[in-house]
């Protein structure tokens, strides 16, 4: 998705802007650009299609001034990814430059009005309307700040904005409604960005701009106010994020790095949160909701993509351990339904980024109907994390790879802890809960053992990588793992893959099976194992090639197929944390073998902040 960086201070402006844009590359984009005011008082705008390095090559060494500047990575929504549509956009007079994240919903009406005033547009974007509107007010004798204030009150929809004005070269203005905007505070310098990743190497002291707020930077400081000029005192937060989280280290790709980080992440996720002696979980956010939790009669899980898959595993866990009715819902569907939300509903909102537009909207809808919202979020300070009633952070560290990996296993681990604690407060005995949590506690070591099989997984993947259609099957808690495996394969290797419950195959999809077709079974030993073995025979009987993720020492599985990846024995409800890892590695290897850019898959963005 789009990314914003802005800087005002005494360092080399373009270096900082370009570095910032590179940090935001992981979010997904198709063009980029920067604007700054040259000492000779000209507004310079440079834009390029494709990677940030294309922009970099258009900027000459002599362009490195201090001062104020703005930059952007664009993920096309309105208008194709061309140089004209890339940001920054300027107004007709060439005095105002803006970068914008989000969508201006009333852009058609605003454009019509501007056209009737004789304004000429140069792009197909909704964002240019913002630049033209600020310019229109400015040309009618409203000051720079006032013109921005007037404009943000006219725009409908979501935005994060950064604005420059040629006549006030030492000023930078940022504004936000519904789209993240963070202010990094340095020594007499400020860097603003839509994402911590662009700030972390400069400072750990940040301020989060809230909705309907404006920040004006000038004279080495800044002040914040609401759109209607009420002063707002902002609290400075110190963010615990290391630059190394954004570095590749010795890994070739972020996705691979993040797959290998999973044992450590899980250790961090669980650290201090499980009390093995008493078979209890310690989650501060749960304590905050102590009263509400005691009255919970129904749980709704909300999420998208991988977070939705984790939520589905959470649904199985909560029903099994806590015996609370639990439903998983796609955020994008839930937000437009007319859902029945009964009294005593707890909404568990799962999101790695904490920025996903559909999940945010679904959360607002469920809250409107009286539910209490609990967040399971990775990104500290993100919008969803700030708007839930309480919640828990994954502590998985920054996830850069577009294909979510370590966030998924951390989400499942936290949902397991949550389910166990909800169970303890109802029917679950101390012994049963303690043994469940003990098993969770040793999962990171077991996961290390699976990572040791990376080369065998590579070899196995290479045998099937030329097939264009794959099926992923599982039953019970392994069904969402099958869905997740299929999603991983399609999003980075562009191979068509479908996940489904193994028993559903006979209701139609079995017609697809032909000799040689790869069919991945997520089949660790559990109470449904015999039934899964029968499903496997249905596939092999029709010539399908079964790849099985099974428990170590499963002799029957060895008789049925040559293609197996063994995972250590564990509590069956926790097996998704292990069984997903070979699927992540298979997807990674398949993408590499097919020659794709694993970390920047086509058409995808890391966080989907628009509808």
> Which of 77/226 has CB closer to ligand M6R?
77
Residue 367, token pair as written in the block: 């809250």
Q: Which residues contact 455 (CB under 8 A, 6 or more apart)?
A: none
CB 1 within 8 A of CB 605: yes
Q: Which of 269, 404, 478, 561 binds ligand M6R (CB under 6 A)?
A: 404
Q: Which of 101, 151, 269, 353 binds ligand M6R (CB under 6 A)?
A: 353
Name the residue whose CB lies closest to ligand M6R.
305
Candidates 229-237, 293-301, 351-359, 439-447 — which segment interacts with ligand M6R by CB under 6 A? 351-359
Q: How far apart are CA 182 and CA 380, in angstroms?
A: 12
Least distance to ligand M6R, CB of residue 25, Å: 15
Q: How far apart are CA 397 and CA 241, in angstroms?
A: 8
302-327 in b/e burial notation, b at 16+ Cβ within 10 A? bbbbbbbbbbbbbbbbbebbbebebb
Q: Build a one-symbol-per-residue string for 7-46: x at contacts with ligand M6R by CB under 6 A, - elsewhere.
A: ----------------------------------------
Long-range contacts of 389-394 (CB under 8 A, 24+ apart): 389/288, 389/289, 389/292, 390/285, 390/286, 390/288, 390/289, 391/285, 391/349, 392/273, 392/283, 392/284, 392/285, 392/286, 392/418, 394/265, 394/269, 394/352
Binding residues for ligand M6R restricted to 481-510, rule: CB under 6 A: 487, 491
Candidates 37-45, 66-74, 267-275, 350-358 — which segment interacts with ligand M6R by CB under 6 A? 350-358
Least distance to ligand M6R, CB of residue 404, Å: 4
Half-sphere exposure of 238 (CA within 13 A, CB side): 0
> Which of 1/564 has CB closer to ligand M6R?
1
Q: Which of 359, 372, 388, 409 binds ligand M6R (CB under 6 A)?
A: 359
Task: Using CA atoms of 593, 596, 597, 602 in order, give the dihedral in degrees to the nearest 10.
Answer: -150
Least distance to ligand M6R, CB of residue 148, Å: 30
Is 550 tagged catalytic? no
> Which of 65/494 has CB closer to ligand M6R?
494
The answer to whether residue 92 forms part of the interface with ligand M6R (CB under 6 A) is: no
Least distance to ligand M6R, CB of residue 353, Å: 3
Residue 360, token pair as written in the block: 């945010």
Q: Which of 179, 345, 352, 493 binds ligand M6R (CB under 6 A)?
A: 352
The answer to whether residue 397 forms part of the interface with ligand M6R (CB under 6 A) is: no
Please tell me the total number of residues recorded for the chain in this structure.
Answer: 611
Residue 279, token pair as written in the block: 């078979």
Map residue 541 onto helix, strand or coil. coil
Binding residues for ligand M6R restricted to 289-308, rule: CB under 6 A: 304-307
Q: How far apart are CA 345 and CA 389, in angstroms?
A: 13
The answer to whether residue 345 forms part of the interface with ligand M6R (CB under 6 A) is: no
CB 73 within 8 A of CB 27: yes
Candidates 189-197, 400-408, 568-576, 579-587 — which segment interacts with ligand M6R by CB under 6 A? 400-408
Q: Of 2, 265, 326, 550, which is the active-site residue? A: 2
CB 183 within 8 A of CB 222: yes
Q: Of 171, 406, 600, 606, which is the active-site residue? A: 606
Candidates 53-61, 148-156, 175-183, 401-409 — which segment interacts with ligand M6R by CB under 6 A? 401-409
Least distance to ligand M6R, CB of residue 260, Å: 17
Q: Which of 403, 415, 428, 433 binds ligand M6R (CB under 6 A)?
A: 403
The answer to whether residue 86 forms part of the interface with ligand M6R (CB under 6 A) is: no
Is 58 tagged catalytic? no
The answer to whether residue 607 forms part of the interface with ligand M6R (CB under 6 A) is: yes
> Which of 353/551 has CB closer to ligand M6R?
353
446-469 in b/e burial notation, b at 16+ Cβ within 10 A? bbeebbebbeebbebbeebbeeee
Name the residues annotated as catalytic: 2, 606
Q: Which residues bind ligand M6R (CB under 6 A)?
A: 304-307, 351-353, 356, 359, 402-404, 487, 491, 607-608
């Amino acid at each position: 998705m789009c990314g914003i960086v802005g800087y005002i201070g005494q360092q080399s402006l373009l270096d900082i802007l370009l570095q910032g844009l590179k940090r935001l590359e992981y979010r997904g984009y198709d063009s980029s650009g920067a604007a700054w005011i040259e000492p000779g008082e000209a507004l310079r705008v440079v834009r390029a299609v494709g990677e940030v390095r294309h922009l970099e090559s258009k900027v000459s060494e002599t362009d490195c001034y201090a001062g104020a500047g703005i930059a952007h990575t664009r993920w096309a929504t309105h208008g194709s990814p061309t140089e004209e549509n890339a940001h920054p956009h300027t107004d007709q007079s060439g005095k105002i430059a803006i970068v914008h994240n989000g969508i201006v919903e009333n852009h058609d009406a605003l454009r019509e009005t501007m056209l009737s005033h004789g304004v000429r547009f140069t792009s197909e974007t909704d964002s240019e309307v913002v630049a033209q509107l600020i310019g229109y007010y400015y040309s009618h004798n409203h000051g720079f700040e006032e013109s921005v204030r007037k404009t943000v009150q006219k725009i409908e929809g979501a935005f994060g904005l950064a604005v420059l004005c040629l006549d006030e070269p030492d000023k930078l203005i940022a504004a936000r409604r519904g789209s993240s905007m963070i202010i990094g505070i340095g020594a007499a310098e400020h860097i603003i960005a839509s994402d911590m990743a662009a700030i972390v190497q400069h400072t750990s002291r940040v301020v989060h701009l809230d909705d309907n707020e404006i920040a004006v930077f000038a004279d080495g400081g800044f002040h914040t106010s609401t759109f209607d000029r009420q002063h707002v005192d902002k609290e400075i937060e110190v963010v615990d994020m290391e630059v190394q989280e954004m570095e590749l280290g010795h890994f070739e790709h972020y996705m691979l790095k993040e797959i290998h980080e999973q044992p450590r992440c899980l250790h961090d996720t669980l650290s201090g949160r499980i009390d093995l002696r008493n078979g209890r979980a310690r989650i501060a956010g749960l304590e905050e909701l102590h009263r509400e939790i005691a009255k919970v009669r129904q749980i709704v899980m909300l999420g998208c993509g991988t977070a939705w898959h984790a939520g589905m595993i959470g649904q199985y866990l909560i029903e099994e351990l806590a015996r609370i009715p639990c439903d998983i819902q796609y955020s994008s569907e839930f937000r437009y339904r007319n859902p029945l939300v009964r009294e005593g509903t707890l909404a568990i909102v799962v999101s790695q980024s904490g920025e996903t537009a559909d999940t945010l909207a679904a959360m607002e809808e469920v809250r409107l109907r009286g539910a209490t919202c609990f967040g399971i979020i990775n990104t500290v300070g993100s919008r969803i994390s700030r708007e839930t009633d309480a919640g828990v952070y994954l502590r998985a560290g920054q996830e850069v790879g577009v294909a979510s990996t370590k966030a998924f296993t951390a989400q499942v681990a936290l949902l397991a802890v949550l389910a166990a604690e909800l169970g303890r407060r109802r029917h679950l005995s101390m012994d049963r809960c303690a043994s469940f949590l003990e098993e969770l506690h040793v999962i990171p070591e077991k996961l290390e053992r699976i990572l040791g099989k990376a080369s065998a997984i590579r070899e196995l993947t290479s045998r099937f990588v030329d097939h264009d259609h794959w099926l992923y099957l599982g039953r019970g808690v392994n069904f969402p793992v099958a869905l997740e495996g299929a999603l991983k394969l399609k999003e980075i290797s562009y191979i068509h893959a479908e996940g489904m419950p193994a028993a559903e195959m006979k209701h139609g999809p079995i017609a697809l099976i032909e000799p040689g077709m790869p069919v991945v079974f997520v089949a660790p030993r559990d109470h449904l194992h015999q039934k899964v073995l029968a499903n496997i025979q249905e596939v092999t009987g029709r010539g399908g090639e079964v790849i099985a993720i099974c428990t170590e020492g499963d002799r029957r599985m060895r008789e049925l197929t040559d293609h197996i990846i063994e995972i250590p024995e564990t509590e069956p409800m926790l097996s998704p944390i292990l069984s997903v890892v070979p699927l992540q590695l298979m997807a990674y290897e398949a993408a590499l073998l097919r020659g794709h850019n694993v970390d920047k898959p086509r058409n995808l963005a890391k966080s989907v902040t628009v509808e």
